[in-house]
Amino acid sequence: MINASKLKKVKYIIHKPSEVQLKKFKLYDIIKNNKNIEIMGYLDYITFMNLVRDSAFVITDGGGLQEETYFLNVPCLLLRERTEREVGLGETAFLSELKDEKIKYFFENYYNFRRRNEFKRYYPSKIIVDTLISI
């Protein structure tokens, strides 16, 4: 998260168990005092999804968010050794395997983890007009 905050402003959605662990290991104040990290509490689903949609990328250890970022076409760094979910892998999701070099790679290349818009080459209105003209 500290490394990510060197690239972008970070919004850290923190849940109570994470906060407790960060305080236990004396990391909470380090994060809280970083001017590029905004600690946020739990958000309702719509607010959270809007935040995800508008993000340059997302960092998570959860498979559910991995799937959400796929459908929103937002690059996603998975902080896991492995994932049981295939959705987005190799497209929007990048599995770090908790390796520093892979995490660094993602930060340097996150913009490449967006799907191409397959619909850009199709123009439904043109197809309809062409069909009507040919009748």
User: Which one of 3.20.80.10, 3.30.429.10, 3.20.190.10, 3.40.50.2000 gives the CATH number of domain 2-134?
Assistant: 3.40.50.2000
What are the residue ranges spanned by the domains of the chain?
2-134
Q: Per-residue pLDDT tens for 17-26?
A: 999 999 999 9
- For 52, residues 6+ apart whose C-beta sits below 8 A from its C-beta are 58, 65, 68, 69, 72, 74
- Label residue 124 by pLDDT band (50, 70, 90): confident
Q: Per-residue pLDDT tens for 76-112?
A: 999 999 999 999 999 999 999 999 999 999 999 999 9
Residue 16 has pLDDT above 70, yes or no: yes
CA–CA dist 104, 106 (Å, integer): 5
Q: Per-residue pLDDT tens for 103-120?
A: 999 999 999 999 876 656
